[in-house]
Amino acid sequence: MNKLRSNQIFAILLGSAAFPLLCRTEPFTIEGIFGAAIAAAVQLLLCIPILLLYRTGFCFGECARRHRSLPLCFIVYLLFRGGTSFVQLQQTSQEISLPFSEKFLAAALIALVCLYTVSLGIQTIARSSTMILGILLITLAIMCIGAIPQAEPQNLALSPNDTIWKGFFRSMTTADELPLLFLLLDFSEKKTYRSIVPVWVGKFLLGSYLSVLGMAVLGSRMAKASHPFFAIVSVSQPLSTQRADALYILVFVMLCVLRITLFAVLAAHLLRLCFPKLRYTSTLCLLSMLGVAGAASKISVSGIWHLLFLGILILLIPVLLLAMPERRNSSP
């Protein structure tokens, strides 16, 4: 894999984080905004062990070849999050007018597109993520234009059904950016704290923008919306017809492809590190994600388990690697 620039990592991570926001089923609330702000600060602090580890000259690829358990832990996480992304696609596709109605068919077609993009490599994902992020920002601006006539400032009030703690917990259970950053920093020359702060600032601003817009436009209807983002879209059309829907659907599909492709390309890369002679790793990873999606759609997994697994990947593992004798001797 080639080296990635800081702005490319920013675009990749923010684009990946945007997809769960579009698929969100919980109402947007003011408490959720404060909870997300605290979660962003906590996640930035959790980046410190990772950055300290890379400052010692750590190379994930070299360490993975010596300790197979390290990449295997990340492979399991990537496959699981890729599978849950397919589940989010299936659930959200019921709210929008995709050109295919069968849920499994939608996931299969997305998987085929991802299989092609995975074959192009991480650099192609990095370049396309910048374009997708630009299209997303244009789409959000168009949404704002359509929402202003429908917005009612008095709707911006505290919610009796939400708390800051719940908003914090929701944000932490979707903090995929942390393990992704751990892996992507291995392909970056500048492993500085300054280069990663914009990722969490951008994620927080994106979530806050959608929250304020959603509350102002939907008001009491927010509690009844199964997918708040698309509920906002349905009532905030900048044109006299529903032609803007095509743009929202396009952005939704592109973000879905970006996110699943990112999980697949990193999982396939780690799988090749563990088993150099293994072939068709990308296909195996995507098929595994579809299998996880089938199981996850029938079994509910608590967010506590996600937080525990996340803590192992981005806190316990970096601390243990920092404590290794050879790591301490090589640190500046």
Asked if 245 and 97 count as a contact pair (C-beta separation under 8 A), the reply is: yes
User: What is the DSSP-derived secondary structure letter of residue 56?
Assistant: T
pLDDT at res. 200: 93
pLDDT at res. 236: 75
Mean pLDDT by 10 residues, the chain (332 residues): 81 94 91 95 92 87 86 93 89 69 68 84 88 92 85 83 91 91 86 79 94 88 85 75 72 92 93 88 91 81 82 89 64 46
pLDDT at res. 328: 46
CB atoms within 10 A of CB 81: 24
CB atoms within 10 A of CB 151: 17
pLDDT at res. 330: 47
pLDDT at res. 38: 96
C-alpha distance from residue 231 to each of 16, 26, 28, 88, 215 (Å): 21, 12, 11, 16, 11
* Closest to 133 measured CA to CA, from 66, 202, 210, 71: 202
Q: Output the pTM of the full model.
A: 0.91
Please give the Cα distance from 277 to 289 (Å, whole number). Answer: 21
pLDDT at res. 36: 95
